[in-house]
Amino acid sequence: MSREAILYEKLPEDKVRCTACARYCEIGKGQIGLCGIRANTGGRLDLLSYGKVITGNVDPIEKKPVVHYMPGTRIFSIATTGCNWLCKYCQNYDISQRRKIEGVDMTPEQVAQIAVERNSQGIAYTYNEPSIFIEFARDCGIEAHKKGLFNIFVSNGYDTPQSVRMMSEFLDCITVDFKGSAEPQFTRKYIGIPDPKPIFDTLIEIRDRTKIHVEITDLIVPQAGDSQEHAKKLAKFLYDNFGSEIPIHFLRFHPDYKMMEFPPTPIKTLEKHYEIAKKEGLDYVYIGNLPGHPYEHTYCPGCNKIAVGRYGFDITSWNLDKDNKCNTCGHKIPITGSLDPNYKRNRFQLVV
């Protein structure tokens, strides 16, 4: 089913300008934006993928990755087809780069109900860029809130003030992936965007105009997007604008899609990025996609003891009191929510 979009402007000669993402595509009558799902139909912009869920899966929230918001919870993750980026290494390319509208017909009420039936505490809009189907995500998110669920975007952050305003209506948490520390040369060659500046602008907009919990990821691509200089600039930007408590995850790259010739990120490269971010003043720095590494844990800035132990997406120890203060020194750890005392590993299965 398709539905008229909300985030767009009408232009002369029946053209429209989409305002859902920072590409601001100007679309002629009968044409479709780069994302593949927002089309000019008779001088109006339609969201072609409204209500078309291409995949749904129950995940641990730590897989997003999100570790400072509602730890240990189960998330119903959904996506539509299409994307506003053209990442040459995308692990979800069959979804994101598909330009045929496909999926299971689901209403927002059905999405929220399935999340409840699968014992999920939240809904994640992920696998492709959620801002391109934000009108559908918003309607799902409103239904989710009615059922006591929270909402998460796993996003590239290539957004607009208009899309951030819509996020503020329903979104509780967002993880923004910079990919290659937002090196302009990397984003142009491997992602297909001319300038990463809108990502930084989006974060400031979220900080100033919403109460959304923010975490940062940075996919470190060896030989292409692993500059220590850019990692330092990113860490400094985060410290200067968000303070020491914003979590950042440096993720290990695995070859996929059109970048099979690249190796996985060397562990030493990830560790160096970790050290740079810590040196720039960030307290909560993590290495991801490397189960068993000691930098998966949350360390207390007060005493440097492990406050939350992790292995992959599993929590292995919880050394915080009911107020999320360190059991060793009493330092307050900025985590929203607390671990359910009945927490245990669950199976996460495909559901649609």
pLDDT tens string 84-130: 999 999 999 999 999 999 999 999 999 999 999 999 999 999 999 99
Do both 246 and 214 map to the same domain? yes
Do both 210 and 108 map to the same domain? yes
Other CB atoms within a 10 A radius of the CB of residue 105 amount to 9
How would you class 100 by CB atoms within 10 Å of its CB: exposed for 0-12, middle for 13-18, buried for 19 or more? exposed
Instruction: Output the average pLDDT for the chain.
Output: 96
Q: Report whether 87 belongs to an annotated binding site.
A: yes
Residue 176: what are its φ and ψ, rounded to 5°? Answer: -105, 125
Domain that holds residue 232: 52-318
Do both 41 and 56 map to the same domain? no
Decide if 110 contacts 78 (C-beta within 8 A). no
The band of 182, judged by pLDDT with boundaries at 50, 70 and 90, is confident
Q: Output the pTM of the full model.
A: 0.96
* Chain-centroid distance, C-alpha 193: 18
Q: Report whether 83 belongs to an annotated binding site.
A: yes
Task: Provide CB contacts within 8 A for 192, sequence distance 6+.
Answer: 85, 86, 87
For the cut 60, the answer to whether the pLDDT of residue 352 exceeds it is no
B/e letters for 304-328, b = 16+ CB within 10 Å, e = fewer, are: eebbbebeebbbeebbbeeebbbee
Do both 20 and 80 map to the same domain? no
For the cut 80, the answer to whether the pLDDT of residue 183 exceeds it is yes
Asked if residue 211 is part of any domain, the answer here is yes
Write down the pLDDT at residue 345. Answer: 58
Where is average pLDDT lowest: 13-27, 296-310, 335-349? 335-349
Do both 26 and 167 map to the same domain? no
* Chain-centroid distance, C-alpha 55: 16
Decide if 52 contacts 81 (C-beta within 8 A). yes
Q: What is the mean pLDDT of residues 259-284?
A: 98
Helix, strand, or coil (residue 207)? helix
Query: DSSP secondary-structure letter at 39?
Result: E
